[in-house]
A = this chain, B = another copy of it.
Amino acid sequence: MKSPQAVEALGALANEHRLAIYRLLVQAGPDGRPAGVIAEKLDMPASSLSFHLAHLTRIGLIEQRRESRSLIYSADFAVMNGLIGFLTENCCGGAACAPAASTRRKAS
């Protein structure tokens, strides 16, 4: 990932709501979640949510698919992958930074 893309990805995640949306979709896995469920879980107006979903989608952090009347959103890890790589390679002091990035993950 190049610097301008990293700025975009960072910007997309640098918002309370969008980060919450993204985390929710990461937890949801490949199945994703319909917009309505996200709106309910995060308690936000549909139009505001749609704005943030569009933002995340444009940057490539999430993707959209239609399933009957619902639009399902799911995390696409490629950009996050690139972002973490960018930060690790360009913004870390090598030994001073990398070791603590564990791969541990928690379930729901």
- Interface set of A (CB-CB < 8 Å, partner B): 3-4, 6-7, 10-11, 13-16, 19-20, 22-23, 26, 29, 75, 77, 80-81, 83-85, 87-94, 96-107
Return the chain B residue nearest A8 by Cβ. B14
Count this chain's copies in the assembly: 2
For A13, list chain B residues within 8 Å (CB). Answer: 7, 10, 14, 91
Do A105 and B80 have beta carbons less than 8 Å apart?
no
For A22, list chain B residues within 8 Å (CB). Answer: 91
- 12 A/B residue pairs, CB under 8 Å, sorted by A: A3-B19, A3-B20, A4-B16, A7-B16, A22-B91, A23-B90, A26-B93, A29-B93, A77-B93, A89-B102, A94-B105, A98-B103
Do A107 and B100 have beta carbons less than 8 Å apart?
yes
For A85, list chain B residues within 8 Å (CB). Answer: 100-103
Q: How far is the CB of A99 from chain B (nearest CB, A)?
A: 4
Do B3 and A7 have beta carbons less than 8 Å apart?
no
